[in-house]
Amino acid sequence: MALSHRGIRLALGLLISALFLYATFRTVPLGRLADALAAARPQWIVAALAFIVLAYTLKILRWLTMLRSLGARIGFREAAAPFLGGVAFNNVLPLRAGDVLRVVAFQRFTGVPPSGQLGTLTLERLMDLLVLTGILFLTLSVWQVEVLDEALLAGLRLVALAAVAAVLLFILAPGPIRLVVRWIEARVPRLAGVGESLLRLSDAVARLSRPLFLLRIALLSIIAWLAEGGAYFAVGKALGVGDHPQVALLALSVGTLATMIPSSPGYVGTFHFFVAKVVGAFGAGSVAAAAYAVLIHALLWLSTTGCGFLALTLAGMGLRREEVRQP
């Protein structure tokens, strides 16, 4: 039964990806798309890769900070392998299998039990959601984006504010969350399993929810995502389109949040559709907008997947050498 359920989810994700890919590229001649990508300025592609390296360095440092708060005695290299390995597996396997591997299978790298790993992963995802929705709201508000429909702008602002409020409540107020979950469980017993899972996540995060520590994690998250936004800006400069800060920040926040929609491994289709929509809303043609989405996705996917599997391979070789040295 479980296998059938996972199969249905995988098939649904592939179908959703196919539909979004069709919607993104149905009016884009592939020859013109290839020409646009070939004309990209290489110095800005190098700059985009540098921003990606900076962003993921900061994300690894953020996770290392959380692990050390739980007693892990590891360095940056020991944290980089499972972190990047999890990202790489998410890029090639369905159903976010990389997250499961990081929590369960990669604890040999960190020495932190799965419950602690789950807490760090949950806090990481909550911080990402908080920062991305915050970037979305501030970009729409500060720059007074006028190219989007007013009703859509109001809806995006409302969703962003609701997400920020929900994340802050989950992180900072576990007590009320527990009361609400118990109240719902008492009235809808069929939701008891969901409620218990939510409470386990809340308890795991609560171990890390110290005000000054959360502030440090939040600052690392903000800087990391702004660095990744720099990669979007550089891609816009490389293609000569959508190279304004508000375009890069909107493409970053909307495109990344779109990866929450069930899709194929690597978030193919959903990511491309929404990034192209953002860039197109600022005056880019369909070919230029599609080229932007393809290039930033390719740079993110290739760099994180390649570095992830390389880091796991090197770390595995190191562990085997240590095991051989031990009597």
Residue 1, pLDDT score: 44
Look up residue 322 and give its two tokens.
């240590």
In degrees rounded to 5, what are phi and psi of residue 283?
Answer: 105, -5
From residue 128, give the alpha-carbon distance in Å to each of 6, 44, 224, 254, 320. Answer: 26, 26, 10, 13, 34
- 89 CB contacts (<8 Å, ≥6 apart)? 97, 98, 101, 308
Q: What is d(CA 164, CA 8) in angstroms, rounded to the nearest whole number? A: 31
Residue 107 lies in a domain: yes
- Among residues of the chain, what percentage have pLDDT more than 70? 92
pLDDT value of position 191: 82
The number of beta carbons lying within 10 Å of the beta carbon of residue 113 is 11
pLDDT at 201: 83
Is residue 187 a contact partner of residue 198, using CB atoms and an 8 Å limit?
A: no
Q: Is the pLDDT of residue 267 over 80?
A: yes
pLDDT at residue 66, as a whole number:
95
CA distance 257 to 53: 20
Q: Is residue 21 part of a domain?
A: yes
Cα–Cα distance between 99 and 108 in angstroms, integer? Answer: 15
- Asked if the structure places residue 51 within a domain, the reply is yes
**Residue 293 included in any domain:** yes
Q: pLDDT tens-digit profile of 5-49?
A: 778 888 999 999 999 999 999 999 999 999 999 999 999 999 999
159 pLDDT more than 70: yes
How confident is the model over 183-203, as a mean pLDDT?
Answer: 85
Is 253 within a domain? Answer: yes
Tokens of 7: 């199969």
CB distance 239 to 259 below 8 Å: no
Task: Indicate the SS3 state at residue 125.
Answer: helix
12-16, 90-94, 144-148, 206-210 — which is least confidently predicted?
144-148
SS3 95: coil
Q: What is the mean pLDDT of residues 275-303?
A: 95
Distance CA 169, CA 94 (A): 30
Mean pLDDT, residues 288-295: 98
pLDDT score at 324: 46
Give yes or no for residue 145 having a pLDDT over 80.
no
d(CA 34, CA 81): 34
Provide the 8-state DSSP code for 94: S
Determine the pLDDT at residue 195: 80
Contact between residue 66 and residue 171 where contact means Cβ atoms under 8 Å apart: no
Domain hosting 115: range is 16-172+208-318
Pick the closest to residue 297 from 262, 266, 260 (CA basis). Answer: 266
> Residue 122 and residue 128: Cα distance in Å, rounded?
10
User: Mean of the pLDDT values across residues 148-169?
Assistant: 75
Cβ-based neighbours of 76, under 8 Å, separated by 6 or more: 60, 61, 64
35 or 153, which is more confident? 35
Q: Which of 287, 260, 280, 282 is nearest to 271 (CA)?
A: 260
Residue 8 is assigned to a structural domain of this protein: no
Q: Evaluate whether residue 240 is within a structural domain.
A: yes
- As a whole number, the mean pLDDT across the chain is 89
Sign of CA dihedral 140, 146, 152, 158: positive
287/34 Cα distance (integer angstroms): 9
- How many domains does the structure of the chain reveal? 1
The secondary structure of 192-207 as a DSSP string is: HHHHHHHHHHHHHHHT
Residue 194, domain member (yes or no)? no
Predicted confidence (pLDDT) per residue in 66-123, tens digit: 999 999 999 999 999 999 999 999 999 998 999 999 988 888 888 899 888 999 999 9
DSSP state of 29: -
Region 245-264: mean pLDDT is 93
